[in-house]
Amino acid sequence: MSDLTAIANLSILLVEPSEVQQKLIIKSLTQCGVTQVETASNQAQTLALLEKYQPDLVISSMYLADGTADSLLQSIRSNPRTESQAFMLISSERNKKYLEQLRQSGVLAILPKPFSADAITRALKATLDIITEEEVELEHFDVTLLRVLVVDDSRFARKHIIRVLAGMGIPAPVEAQDGKQAIEKLNEQSFDLIVTDYNMPEMDGRELTETVRGSNTYSHIPILMVSSEANDTHLANIAQAGVDAICDKPFEPATVRDLLFKIMS
């Protein structure tokens, strides 16, 4: 099945209080080939609809009459029936504090307004990657035997990362809430890969990387750093710490697949 055909089969729930914005977004989705679009105008209506059916993707505006995209996503992630729901934000919001919380909760994409057809198509393809399992092929590894340590202080972010990895055929990883706990896990068992967030309490991703690289026991383990930082100097500092690859948040399946192929092969 081609991407265009698969995108056309996606079911989407659009959460947008403005009827004008609803029509504009639906028009953009239609141009991408999407035909199955349900709409909701507030948080309560969205949660009620999600009790009845689970769409392939929820696309939400930032501000709703009875909450925000953040509070909506927290409610979705807190419900065992909907915790794995793919979620995308469309917003003109530029405040880093608001956007950071959404990134930590495993949002699939954040599209600024106005957005291009290419941007929304990429986000739809990321949705396909999430719901369509495609085992990543590594040159020297059987991916189903990879032992992975996922380190992130956000439980929601860990779940999102684990779901993306599972879609590639990678078995359930060991989880750690911060760098300090990760070191304890590393001292208990062997791993083939570490996927770690940068911003964490106790011991952040950079400190974890420096500790791993300074060890005689596990300095060889490849490290994939996940960071929402856009500052070039900051990213350069992370790279110098000894990571093998840096991946942006949102944690997009296609990007992760490419990075895994590079660092594990």
pLDDT at 102 over 90: no
Residue 190 CB neighbours (<10 A): 10
pLDDT at 161 over 70: yes
pLDDT at 190 over 90: yes
Rounded distance between C-alpha atoms, residue 84 and residue 94, angstroms: 26
The rounded percent of the chain whose pLDDT value lies above 70 is: 85
pLDDT at 57 over 60: yes
Residue 226 CB neighbours (<10 A): 25
Report residue 10's pLDDT band, with 50, 70 and 90 as the boundaries.
confident
pLDDT at 208 over 90: yes
Question: If you average pLDDT over residues 131-137, what whole number do you get?
Answer: 64
pLDDT at 211 over 90: yes
pTM: 0.62
Question: If you average pLDDT over residues 182-197, what whole number do you get?
Answer: 94
- pLDDT score at 123: 78
pLDDT at 130 over 70: no
pLDDT at 47 over 90: yes
For 41-168, list the strands marked E by DSSP. 57-60, 63-64, 67-68, 87-91, 109-112, 148-151
pLDDT at 98 over 80: no
Classified as helix, coil or strand, 74 is: helix
- pLDDT score at 4: 65
Question: If you average pLDDT over residues 43-67, what whole number do you get?
Answer: 91
